Structure 1
């Protein structure tokens, strides 16, 4: 799903567990149904909001696969972005989950817990392809407490952090050395606030769970049954944000800024740093040429040396009657040749080994898209998905609201995070109940 807004998992898919774990066994009587059999039979392939812009690509992809596997017939389905998680839940409960399904880790998690997705690490016909993908991408589809990966890595995404070199220069900061760690970030933000008399903030938003992850905070326990971002290091991060907020290092509207509003504040040169994408460069060039001329591109500061990335994959229905065909097709879509072809059509990145060493992702071609593409591709080396797969949108809102209370001084950072964890743990426990 290329759009930047990724639908988070909802609790509904967890309800399928009681319905499905007692269902019939996997496979069926068809000799091609086993995961290690010959690829044959009719399978369904479901994508997530891709038909509108990429119909010709996927029609060709299906046609090429069927030409190579004449005993397999593939029916391509596509679902809109809205309520995609609910659609997966309904299909799983009804026993109509597609044979190959487009999932992000947060969506594959409840399906895997319900026994609906193949554990690729424990399926020899799938595990043999593991070495074709980057370790980071395969790990990104490995689910906590389930001991394995449940989707073939497909495309990756990450976002660069834009910064205003002119504002850095005006504050006496080196515009060619943007902050790489949180210590450097907070130091630069204090300097910028002081030098500008509080008129220029460094950041337009409050810390989200990814920030806690990049700071080095342990977000959950090992089996993902309890949140832990209220540990001392998490409190330390929120305390530093509170100090930054009090000194003018955060935009005055940071507590209520949406991503769109934060982008507008950066466009107006009211803040010095903000996430963005290739499309933003065209806007800057047209609406803020001064900003465009002084635009720097870097990755978000982190203390781990590992940027954040978003992962998309293709899961295989564990109850498919034609597992061999489903595995073969999922691998076909995600092999190096086809991943690179798809990534040339949309601003995403392949997860196959060696792909990002191609000049397309290493050499700036002089276009805005190329400039961001090359910068972003560099960030994917060693990148991880910091957002816990069990963290729902509601849990993210809980954290955001408690962070706001701490920044406003209504609660101490410790109390705010304790309350956020307690509420999120309760929601998590509720979601696990059949």
Structure 2
């Protein structure tokens, strides 16, 4: 399940929407644009566009801008903040008109089609310290298949953590101090859980997705980004395990339907023993179900943790590339990101933040423990589902996985169909 920024308003856009509009590319060469950004004077006017930060974070952003102007006297910053709804359409219209702000907030899936249309500056050329100063997963998020370059500064990050209802586990024969760390261990514990329970609760309560295939060693997409490749024996074997678990009754019967409530809701209701969520999950549960919150224990996400990224990109046709790169670096600096993280449930993307005790040391509460687990996980977290996957592809994949787990198709048949249809959609 894709959880991006519960603390901030987000909207979705499909890659097909952006790539289908024939955005033109400017004629400025990559080297020229990068050189201007790296060596030019930081002066004049520069515009910054963020996404749904007003009014909650107005004071914070204004303080960041004021600090930048103090560091570079005479620079003028025009801060634009777009509402959460319709942001993708706004970015599209700005790009089509050649009017993107000098620094623009783009998650990787928004940045991809613009990078393909040669609209974004290669930040790695303009800022050689990028890879040294930002966490690898965040930088990699703006490196796209089949393309050279890095097309954004990672800004704020999040990831998922495993959450367990210790009371339910204990009640149903499991030890909260010996949590499962692999799928096989999870299924084995789910079997014990089922044998002890009255049938009204479950340990496992979700079907797998592309991220699970990645963690099973499946190569989901070709290196050039032109085709999906997840119809492998390893992927089929994973779905076979889930089908067997489903047939055995280890998952809710309606887990494959469109009306399924979702494992987070079942967990919050006390009818599921395990879910995944962001670092602030326990805090949110304390509001919705205060009696459950103290019973929750956390553990690292199974396999490679998923990475959720917001970033700042610079258009190649920026009239003030030097100031744009300097501003993007300033906003994403360790100091400014740490201040942001104190206000909301996100994590900074800079390596220098690793030693900050606010993130690396728990206050002794289970919520504090979960925050440390999440922050520690960021060092190896990656975007698991390719950014090329749009909503239509996601629907196809979910439908075919459901058919495989229900037994209405073999795992290989379902995966072959999903790959074929997704490749058709990818080619447009």
SS at match of 1:53: coil
Which of the residues 395, 398, 404 maps onto 1:397? 395
Relative to 1, partners in 2 of residues 1:229 and 1:326: Cα closer, same or farther, differing over 3 Å? same
Cα displacement (A) at 1:360: 0.7
Relative to 1, partners in 2 of residues 1:204 and 1:269: Cα closer, same or farther, differing over 3 Å? same
Contact 1:182 1:215 survives alignment (8 Å) = no
Contact 1:7 1:81 survives alignment (8 Å) = no
Partner residue, 1:339: 337
Contact 2:231 2:419 survives alignment (8 Å) = yes
Contact 1:198 1:247 survives alignment (8 Å) = no
In structure 2, distance between residues paired with 1:230 and 1:19: 33
In structure 1, distance between residues paired with 2:353 and 2:75: 28
> How many residues end up aligned between the 2 structures?
421
Cα displacement (A) at 1:289: 5.5
SS at match of 1:297: strand
In structure 2, distance between residues paired with 1:357 and 1:257: 44
Cα displacement (A) at 1:269: 2.4
- 1:63-104 Cα deviation digits (max 9, x unpaired): 221122123211111112223222222111111111111111
Which of the residues 46, 59, 68 maps onto 1:56? 59
The CA RMSD over aligned residues, in Å, is: 2.5
Partner residue, 1:83: 86
Contact 1:307 1:380 survives alignment (8 Å) = yes
Partner residue, 1:11: 16
Partner residue, 2:267: 266
Partner residue, 2:277: 276
In structure 1, distance between residues paired with 2:419 and 2:109: 19
Q: TM-score, normalised by structure 2?
A: 0.91
Contact 1:200 1:249 survives alignment (8 Å) = no
Cα displacement (A) at 1:195: 3.2
Cα displacement (A) at 1:367: 5.3
In structure 1, distance between residues paired with 2:89 and 2:364: 42
SS at match of 2:408: coil
Contact 2:140 2:150 survives alignment (8 Å) = yes
Partner residue, 2:361: 363
In structure 1, distance between residues paired with 2:62 and 2:289: 41
Say if 2:39 is the partner of 1:36.
yes
- 1:317-355 Cα deviation digits (max 9, x unpaired): 111011001001000111111111111111111111131
Contact 2:138 2:154 survives alignment (8 Å) = yes
Contact 2:13 2:88 survives alignment (8 Å) = yes
Contact 2:156 2:309 survives alignment (8 Å) = yes
Relative to 1, partners in 2 of residues 1:151 and 1:289: Cα closer, same or farther, differing over 3 Å? closer
Say if 2:72 is the partner of 1:72.
no
Partner residue, 1:97: 100
SS at match of 1:203: coil
- 1:96-120 Cα deviation digits (max 9, x unpaired): 1111111111111111010111112
Say if 2:125 is the partner of 1:122.
yes
Partner residue, 1:214: 215
In structure 2, distance between residues paired with 1:55 and 1:90: 25
- 1:207-235 Cα deviation digits (max 9, x unpaired): 12222222222110111111111111111
In structure 2, distance between residues paired with 1:179 and 1:140: 29
Relative to 1, partners in 2 of residues 1:370 and 1:293: Cα closer, same or farther, differing over 3 Å? closer
Contact 1:209 1:386 survives alignment (8 Å) = yes
Cα displacement (A) at 1:6: 5.8
Relative to 1, partners in 2 of residues 1:318 and 1:189: Cα closer, same or farther, differing over 3 Å? same
In structure 1, distance between residues paired with 2:56 and 2:154: 21
Q: TM-score, normalised by structure 1?
A: 0.90
Say if 2:176 is the partner of 1:175.
yes
Relative to 1, partners in 2 of residues 1:349 and 1:289: Cα closer, same or farther, differing over 3 Å? closer
Contact 1:2 1:346 survives alignment (8 Å) = no
Say if 2:370 is the partner of 1:375.
no
Partner residue, 1:162: 163
Partner residue, 2:191: 190
- 1:103-155 Cα deviation digits (max 9, x unpaired): 111111111010111112233xx223431112222122211111221101111
- 1:336-389 Cα deviation digits (max 9, x unpaired): 111111111111111111313211112222456534322211221211111101
Partner residue, 1:319: 317
Contact 1:209 1:396 survives alignment (8 Å) = no
Cα displacement (A) at 1:61: 1.2
Relative to 1, partners in 2 of residues 1:219 and 1:8: Cα closer, same or farther, differing over 3 Å? farther
SS at match of 1:20: coil
Alignment of 1:243-254 (within 5 A): 243-254=244-255
> Which is further off, 37-46 or 365-374?
365-374
In structure 1, distance between residues paired with 2:80 and 2:226: 34
SS at match of 2:121: coil
In structure 1, distance between residues paired with 2:274 and 2:331: 37
Cα displacement (A) at 1:284: 4.3
